[in-house]
Structure 1
Amino acid sequence: MSTSIPVVALIAYPNFSPFHFAVPYMVFTAELPEQRLFELKIVSPGAQPLQAERALTVQPDGGLELTETADILVVPGWHDLNTPPEPALIAALARAHARGAHVVGLCYGAYALAYAGLLDGKRASTHWMAEQDFCLRFPRVKLDMNALYVEEDRLITSAGTGAGLDCCLYIVREYYGPQVANKVARAMVIPPHREGGQAQFIEQPMAVSTQDAQINRLLDYLRKNLARQHTIDELATRTSMSRRTFTRHFGKATGMTLVDWLVNERLQRTRDLLETTSLSVERISELAGFQTPVSFRQHFKKRFHVSPRDWRQTFGQRKTDLA
């Protein structure tokens, strides 16, 4: 291990993503007036120049031998989720971790660490679009689909594209503390730390219709009347069914209980209103059918891991001071 400036081995691979490569490159080559923070080495198996997507080419500093003395190894994404790293790279990652180095997988780079077996039994994160595939391939990994980044046992993984910046700044904080990390963030004109998790970025579409025409008509009615309070007995009568029959038909058609379906639809309505209007939280809560603003805030925070105010600040067309 390095005894002075930490050494970062940034690992290139065929058809790498220029953005995913550039994120750790920028963070770990950042210099402050008073000090250089890291020594970055670009690594490729066999020390061969590698071409990125759309014809960019990177000239490495050397081959996998450079990983043997690095303090931090970074795999910035991964080019093919169906393709494990070559055995030499897997061995290099395993040796580095065994001797105490940090091993980092940014975004789909978590696949490289998982293929190497390093994440078995550990918490990890990756891009939300890969959740189902990752869980099927690596059932022993404890995937956290809300975290922007996760560290366990010197294994660090991050969520999608922008979370790579959060993750790299986290590493700067771990080595140099928050003041230095904040200086690096200011120099890059990015926030030093983001609240919330990737749940706020995950698309959660609701089926507009089902295979049950009678239930479809009811769903249309409910969407037009979200502000009202609805009971199972009322809706069963509306569909000319008994309470028991209605509950069974609704669950079969939507895969949800009535309460869960209404909460999902109401949360979607509140997201739209937060993003496109300057209405108060109280008014949005009322229009979406939540019984109280407190209930709205609780449901919103539970689902998206941020407050309505933070959602509007991130995605809204204008900022407003919400109560």
Structure 2
Amino acid sequence: MDNDRSNIANVPETARAPLVCAIAYDGLCTFEFGIAIELFALPRPEFQHWYRFAAVKAEPGPLRATGGITIDAEDDLGLLQDASLIVISGWRGADMPVPAELCTALRDAHARGARIASICSGVFVLAAAGLLDGKTATTHWRYTDMLAARFPKITVDPDVLFVENQGIYTSAGSAAGLDLGLHIIRQDFGAQAAASVARRLVLPAQRDGGQRQFVPRPEPKARIGSNLATLQDCIRASIDENWPIARMAKTAGTSARSLARRFHEETAATPIQWLTAERVSRAAELLENNNMPLTDVWEACGFGSAETFRREFRKVMGVPPVKYRERLGAL
């Protein structure tokens, strides 16, 4: 044991730094790949320890990225065997095949102990490699139904920003990759380092993976000449007021039963579900953009009580109002 420790101590510090490998491929998603570069490849002289970084080709041949950019990367999947973290920055298409050599290299690296993270459509690479079977995963909300249909062994959570499961990380739409990356940095180097990186990115230091991707705001399919659309605009303009079903129906000039049917047809929600989502959305805007006391926020949005406000906000957004303001409103 003492000899092992001595050998480790004699290894140069840069060689002991965690190696992050980002997979590059033809048709590369430029923004998602840029997230990996910004988080893990950018020099951080303010820190004593940081990552090493390598871009690794998914397959031989020239690599072009969105926007006409040409990528020069290491043509050696064997590098993945030395990686502490492998990042799959999107994929060239959710229905595009994944090279068998890449799948094998990812499985071998994970079996050796490497962590693997996907951003957005990169989840389809992990799924093709079988690394998500029996696990929960997420991706951009546009792809969640496709992922669930094509890979029924995966439990797909369509709402969250990212999921961590036995060394496999999956994140939602593009920018959620930043939240996941900061989460990984926090695990590797601590909260202070993650907060420093977030400040340079002008981002909240932490958003929980369980926070929802977006606030669902069902809209009617046809707004022109729609009594329902008129009612919705009226409610939004006075959302701080009490809006029971009877008042909604009277304002729309219809019966409560007909109103419920119209809401279901045009928004796939009940009138109360739609109203709650609107109130939460308005509350989120107030929390983000000003320092209004929480008491004034729930009153301005018509929640009726602080308890109802906290319960409904957390149900929709995945975090309490106070945490939401701390992480988003501080910007």
TM-score if structure 1 supplies the norm length? 0.78
Q: Deviations over 1:41-69 (max 9, x none)?
A: 22114454412112222222232222233
TM-superposed deviation, 1:112: 0.9
Amino acid at match of 1:41: A
Q: Is 2:102 aligned against 1:94? A: no
After TM superposition, the structure 1 stretch with the greater mean CA deviation from structure 2, 128-137 or 99-108, is 128-137
Q: Is the 8 A contact 1:49 1:60 kept in 2?
A: no
Match of 1:263 in 2: 276
Query: Alignment partner of 1:172: what SS?
Result: helix
Q: Is 2:112 aligned against 1:107? A: no
Output the CA distance in 1 between the equivalents of 2:284 and 2:190: 36
Amino acid at match of 2:143: A
Q: Deviations over 1:126-161 (max 9, x none)?
A: 223322332222232222334332221111112222
Match of 1:127 in 2: 140
Match of 2:4 in 1: none
Q: Is the 8 A contact 1:200 1:306 kept in 2?
A: no
User: What does 1:131-280 align with in structure 2 at a 5 Å threshold?
Assistant: 131-182=144-195, 184-185=197-198, 190-195=203-208, 197-199=210-212, 201-202=214-215, 204-207=217-220, 222-223=235-236, 226-232=239-245, 251-252=264-265, 254-271=267-284, 280=293
Amino acid at match of 1:141: I
Match of 1:61 in 2: 74
TM-superposed deviation, 1:82: 1.4
Output the CA distance in 2 between the equivalents of 1:315 and 1:170: 16
Output the CA distance in 2 between the equivalents of 1:139 and 1:163: 24
Give the 3 Å change call, closer, same or farther, for CA 281–49 of structure 1 in structure 2. same
Give the 3 Å change call, closer, same or farther, for CA 267–169 of structure 1 in structure 2. closer
After TM superposition, the structure 1 stretch with the greater mean CA deviation from structure 2, 170-179 or 211-220, is 211-220
Q: How many residues align?
A: 316
Q: Is the 8 A contact 1:147 1:197 kept in 2?
A: yes
Amino acid at match of 2:92: H
Give the 3 Å change call, closer, same or farther, for CA 191–176 of structure 1 in structure 2. same
Query: Alignment partner of 1:170: what SS?
Result: helix
Q: Is 2:21 aligned against 1:5? A: no
Q: Is 2:324 aligned against 1:301? A: no
Q: Is the 8 A contact 1:200 1:305 kept in 2?
A: no
Q: Is the 8 A contact 1:124 1:150 kept in 2?
A: yes
Q: Deviations over 1:198-250 (max 9, x none)?
A: 52645534227589967666556655554443444566677787766665565
Q: Is the 8 A contact 2:179 2:207 kept in 1?
A: yes
Query: Alignment partner of 1:41: what SS?
Result: strand
| Equivalent residue in structure 1 for 2:31, among 19, 25, 48 | 19
Give the 3 Å change call, closer, same or farther, for CA 68–235 of structure 1 in structure 2. closer
Amino acid at match of 2:206: H
TM-superposed deviation, 1:303: 0.9
Unaligned runs of 5+ in 1: none
Q: Is the 8 A contact 1:48 1:60 kept in 2?
A: no
Amino acid at match of 2:88: V
Match of 2:12 in 1: none
Match of 1:28 in 2: 40
Query: Alignment partner of 1:166: what SS?
Result: helix
After TM superposition, the structure 1 stretch with the greater mean CA deviation from structure 2, 30-39 or 58-67, is 30-39
Give the 3 Å change call, closer, same or farther, for CA 226–151 of structure 1 in structure 2. closer
TM-superposed deviation, 1:255: 3.4
Q: Is the 8 A contact 1:107 1:161 kept in 2?
A: yes
Match of 2:95 in 1: 82
Amino acid at match of 1:168: G
Q: Is the 8 A contact 1:196 1:305 kept in 2?
A: no
Match of 2:5 in 1: none
TM-superposed deviation, 1:189: 5.8
Output the CA distance in 1 between the equivalents of 2:252 and 2:205: 54
Give the 3 Å change call, closer, same or farther, for CA 124–284 of structure 1 in structure 2. same
TM-score if structure 2 supplies the norm length? 0.76
Output the CA distance in 2 between the equivalents of 1:282 and 1:33: 41
Q: Is the 8 A contact 1:149 1:163 kept in 2?
A: yes
Give the 3 Å change call, closer, same or farther, for CA 147–220 of structure 1 in structure 2. closer
